[in-house]
Each structure stands twice: as structure tokens, then as C-alpha cells.
Amino acid sequence: MKTDDLINALAADAKSVERPIAQTVAIAVGVGALVSTLIFFWSLGLRANFAESAVSSLRFLFKYVLTFSLAIPAYVLVRGLSRPDFQPGNKLWWLALAPALLLSAMGLEMLAVPSDQWHAKMVGYNSLTCLVVIPLLSFAPLAAVLYALRQGAPANPALAGAIGGLLSASIAATLYASHCRDDSPLFLAAWYTIGFVLMTGIGALAGSRILRW
């Protein structure tokens, strides 16, 4: 086919334009989070003292500070990375916020708690559940985000997939935090982090395979 002929065909298809990619990403993240939320309430549910902790425990509230400090930058980055002309550059530093907050909280916890209890705080009650549940609850949001990114045109498929994985893990961790009895920042650093890293890696691998266009 000659290029001018191709242009005729493309022009004839002018009306087929899809929804703007930012909307597709927003809808996908919303649907993915909703599916995981439903699975969460069906399988685990809130912990018994959820309402009480929500108003009285700083450690409990910090879990949400941590997950949102990851989820919000990851969402904004994924939305950008779905476009070919987006240059993440310095914006990737937004992702340093969560580790910085976590390190500060660990420091405060180590000041507040005697050193002979550090180990017990870190091991917690529920570490195995945490390790399993965060990745499991991540899969619906990850699938949705990857679907949306496929509609887009990411210049860097692996990076887009990685941030998508991180976003899905932070959504999953927000849900899981409402069930998990362990609130110490030492526990978060030891176990939640594994879920974040794992899902970021899975996202990067999946992205580099399926997000080429």
C-alpha cells in the first residue's frame, strides 16, 4: 500500500477515536480497586477494633499515610507514563516520599519502644498472611492498570508496568492494613515492603512483555 493510500484509509476512520487515555487509566484503577475491595470484605473484612483504632492509634493511621504516600504518586506517574511523550525525570523522586516516611516512623518507633521488644514488633502476629494477601489483592488492580496501559502508548513499557505494579500493591496494602493487627512501622518495613517490591517486579516484567506497541 502506498503511503497516500494509507492516509486515505486513516482519514476515513477519523471518527473511531477512543476515550482520552487519562480517563481510561482512572476508570481502570477505580474498577481494579473496587474488585479488590469486594474480595477483601468477602474474605477478610475489617479487624475487630477498626473503629477504635482509627480514632486512637497513631501507628494504625500511619499505615494509611504510608500506603497513600505511595498510591498517589504512583497513580499520577502511571497516568503520565501511558502517554508516549511523558518524561518522568524528576517526578520519579515523588516515590522517595514513602520510604522517607517509613524510615522516620521506624526511628520514632525505636525511640518509643525498648530495644528488647523490637524483634517481637517486627515479627508481629500476621506476617505470613501479610506476605500472601498483599500480592493476591494486587492482581485485580494490576490487571486493570495493564489493560489501560495497553490502550495507551508507554514510551518505557517496563517502567510503566513497574509503577503499575507498585500502584496495585499500594491499593492492596491499604485494604490489608484495615485487617492486619500489626501496626508497628517495624512490621511494615519488614513485610509490607516485600509485597511492594514483588509487585513492582512483576509489573515491570509484565510491562516489558505486553506493553510494546
Partner 1 sequence: MRAAIAGDQDAYRRLLSELSQVLRGVVRRGFAGVGVPRGDVEDVVQDVLLAIHLKRHTWDPSLPLGPWVMAIVRNKMIDDLRRRGRRPEVPVDLNDFEFEGEDQQASIDAHDVGRVLDRLSDKNRDIVRSISIDGQSARDVAMRLGMSEVAVRVALHRSLKSLAETYQEKKA
Q: Where do contacts with partner 1 occur on this chain (CB under 8 A)? A: 1-22, 24, 82-85, 151-153, 155, 212-213
Of 20 and 89, CB closest to partner 1: 20
**Residue 93 burial by Cβ neighbours in a 10 Å radius (0-12, 13-18, 19+):** exposed
CB of 12 to partner 1, least distance (A): 5
CB of 84 to partner 1, least distance (A): 4
Chain centre to alpha carbon of residue 143: 12
CB of 132 to partner 1, least distance (A): 36
d(CA 31, CA 148) in angstroms, rounded, equals: 11
CB of 80 to partner 1, least distance (A): 10
d(CA 117, CA 34) in angstroms, rounded, equals: 37
Of 6 and 34, CB closest to partner 1: 6
Of 8 and 49, CB closest to partner 1: 8
8 A C-beta contact, residue 170 and residue 97: no
Q: Apex CA 148: angle with CA 13 and CA 73, to 5°?
A: 135
Of 66 and 148, CB closest to partner 1: 148
